Amino acid sequence: MPMTATTVLTARALLLDMDGTLVNSDAVVERCWRRWADRHGLDGDEVMKVVHGRQGHASMAVLLPDRPMEQNHADNARMLAEETADMDGVIEVSGAAAFLASLAGLPHALVTSADVALSTARMAAAGLPLPELRITAESVGASKPDPEGFLKAAAELGVAPADCVVFEDSGAGIAAGRAAGMRVVGVGSRAGLHGPDALVQDLTEVRVESTPEGAIRLHLG
C-alpha cells in the first residue's frame, strides 16, 4: 500500500540490490525457475517463494536439501547461463534510471546475487548504468540472507554499516540488510511482507539530495 506521508532517511552510502529493485526481471526468473521445478518434480509456486534474492545454489539447497552442494553449484552454473541468454521482458523498475542518475558522485554500490555476466546483461537490457562498485556472486562466499555482500560493500566504500541504507525487494535481501545492521527500504509489494524500515512501490517514490556535510538524504513516498 502506498505511503501516505514522506519518510526521510539520512545515510552516507546506499547499497542497491538489482533484481526486483532496479531491474524487473520477474518474467525471466519465473520462466527459468518454473522449468527447473518441472525438471525436478517440484511445485512451481513453492519454488517461486524461495528463489527471489538468493543465489541459485542457495535456493537449490533449500529446495533439494538431500542433494550434494557440488551438484547445486553445477546446476546453478547452467541456470545462470540460461538466464543470461534470456533478456525477454527485462525492463527497469519504474524510476530506476532517474534514481541512479541522482546518485552520481554519491557513495553507492550494487549488491546482487547475480554473477558478473548476468548482472551486466540485465542492467544493459534495462538501459541502466552499472555502479562503479559492484558486489556480485563471485565476490562473496555466502549468499543472501547472509549479510556478507552488504558488509563487503560498506567496507569497500569506507562507510559504517549503521550509516548505510539498503534498497531491496526480497525477504532474503531484507534479512541480509538487517543482519548487516543497516536500515532497509523495501521496493514493491513483495518487500512489504518482510517488514522493511520503509516501503516504496517503485523508485519514482524516492528523491535523493546531498547535504552540505556530504550525507545523502532520502525522501521516500
Per residue of the chain (221 residues), give pLDDT as tens. Answer: 444 568 999 999 999 999 999 999 999 999 999 999 999 999 999 999 999 999 999 999 999 999 999 999 999 999 999 999 999 999 999 999 999 999 999 999 999 999 999 999 999 999 999 999 999 999 999 999 999 999 999 999 999 999 999 999 999 999 999 999 999 999 999 999 999 999 999 999 999 999 999 899 999 99
Q: How confident is the model at residue 182, as a pLDDT?
A: 98
CA gap 51, 9 in Å, rounded: 29
Q: How confident is the model at residue 126, as a pLDDT?
A: 98
Q: How confident is the model at residue 66, as a pLDDT?
A: 97
Q: Is 88 a catalytic site residue?
A: no
Residue 147 zone, left/alpha/beta (φ > 0; ψ -120 to 50; rest): alpha
The alpha-carbon radius of gyration of the chain (Å, integer) is: 17
Q: How confident is the model at residue 72, as a pLDDT?
A: 98
Please name the residue ranges forming H helices in 42-132. 44-51, 56-63, 69-84, 96-102, 116-125
Q: Is 17 a catalytic site residue?
A: yes
Backbone angles phi, psi at 15, to 5 degrees: -115, 120
The residues, ordered by sequence, that sit 6+ positions from 68 with a Cβ below 8 Å of its Cβ are none
Q: How confident is the model at residue 94, as a pLDDT?
A: 98
Which residue in 131, 138, 91, 90 sits closest to 117, CA to CA?
A: 138
Q: How confident is the model at residue 1, as a pLDDT?
A: 43
What pTM, to 2 d.p., does this model score? 0.95
142-145 contacts at long range (C-beta below 8 A, 24 or more positions apart): 143/54, 143/55, 143/57, 143/58, 143/113, 143/172, 144/53, 144/54, 144/55, 144/58, 144/113, 144/170, 144/172, 144/173, 144/175, 144/176, 145/53, 145/54, 145/171, 145/172, 145/173, 145/175, 145/176, 145/179
Q: How confident is the model at residue 6, as a pLDDT?
A: 86
Q: How confident is the model at residue 67, as a pLDDT?
A: 97
Which residue in 184, 134, 190, 206 sits closest to 20, CA to CA?
A: 190
CA gap 78, 64 in Å, rounded: 17
The residues, ordered by sequence, that sit 6+ positions from 8 with a Cβ below 8 Å of its Cβ are 217, 218, 219, 220
